[in-house]
């Protein structure tokens, strides 16, 4: 991998986008590498994933404008489909994904963060969907995910104006969950990931699946999905161990993902 680094630490996977000379801007090779890394992630080995950018200036400062400038209509549409396929793959990963936004998150970078379950920002983070200032629209899911996350009015303002917002404003409107100093961002994000990883992994995966169901189906369909997943948990060793420990007022054994 030239641009995407992947490591595992205490059942947490850490994906680092590393193209610092271009502020980690996305190009075809990076999108392809990211998709390949996502394909290698196994719930048997990893219970939560963090994605971040290399360096201290940018998470991902958008897509590479130079590589897009002279695209034809057909090439641009295919580029959008390619990016959306990989971001959708990340969004539908069976384990939770946390974006550690360490600086600029513009355009495709903001959209990458939107495809994650949780967004944690550094104090120097700046987020934007500036595509309209370049004569284009958001192409990697911004028009679809941003309204669902922060509401249609707030999303339309950001998408129509292309305005940049700082971490404090992003937190205020619900675009990010927490803010930390840059120097402690990854450590604090890892603490959250580890807290997730320490819970019953089958239960966490089922919870994510149930939440996703409410985004992609009717309330009644989502409730039925929840009921089925709730029932499935009662066939696991982790459920039996945890509930027995609760009734006996003792600490449960570590979860074994079974």
Q: Provide the annotated active-site residues.
A: 111, 131
CA distances from 9 to 46, 59, 194, 201 (A): 9, 20, 9, 16
User: 200, 255 in Cβ contact below 8 A?
Assistant: yes
- Give the count of beta carbons closer than 10 Å to the beta carbon of residue 123: 14
d(Cα 223, Cα 163) in Å, to the nearest integer? 38
Nearest-Å Rg of the Cα atoms of the chain is 19
d(Cα 154, Cα 158) in Å, to the nearest integer? 6
Structure tokens at 34: 């990211």
d(Cα 79, Cα 71) in Å, to the nearest integer? 9
- Taking every pair of Cα atoms in the chain, the longest distance, rounded to a whole number of angstroms, is 67
d(Cα 79, Cα 119) in Å, to the nearest integer? 25
């Amino acid at each position: 991998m030239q641009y995407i680094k992947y490591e595992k630490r205490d059942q947490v996977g850490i994906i680092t986008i590393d193209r610092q000379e271009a502020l980690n801007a996305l190009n075809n090779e990076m999108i392809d590498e990211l998709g390949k890394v996502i394909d290698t992630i196994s719930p048997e080995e990893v219970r939560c994933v963090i994605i971040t950018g290399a360096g201290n200036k940018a998470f991902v400062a958008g897509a590479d404008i130079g590589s897009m400038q002279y695209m034809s209509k057909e090439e641009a549409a295919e580029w959008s489909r390619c990016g959306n396929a990989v971001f959708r793959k990340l969004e539908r990963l069976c384990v939770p994904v946390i974006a550690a936004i360490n600086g600029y998150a513009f355009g495709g970078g903001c959209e990458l963060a939107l495809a994650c379950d949780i967004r944690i920002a550094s104090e120097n983070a700046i987020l934007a969907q500036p595509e309209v200032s370049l004569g284009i629209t958001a192409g990697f899911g911004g028009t679809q995910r941003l309204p669902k996350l922060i509401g249609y009015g707030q999303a339309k303002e950001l998408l129509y104006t292309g305005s940049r917002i700082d971490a404090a404003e992003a937190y205020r409107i619900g675009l990010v969950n927490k803010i930390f100093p840059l120097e402690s961002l990854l450590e604090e994000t890892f603490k959250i990931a580890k807290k997730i990883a320490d819970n019953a992994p089958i239960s966490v995966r089922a919870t994510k699946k149930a939440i996703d169901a409410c985004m992609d189906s009717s309330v009644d369909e989502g409730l039925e999905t929840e009921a089925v997943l709730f029932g499935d948990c009662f066939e696991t060793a982790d459920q039996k161990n945890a509930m027995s420990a609760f009734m006996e007022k003792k600490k449960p054994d570590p979860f074994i993902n079974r």
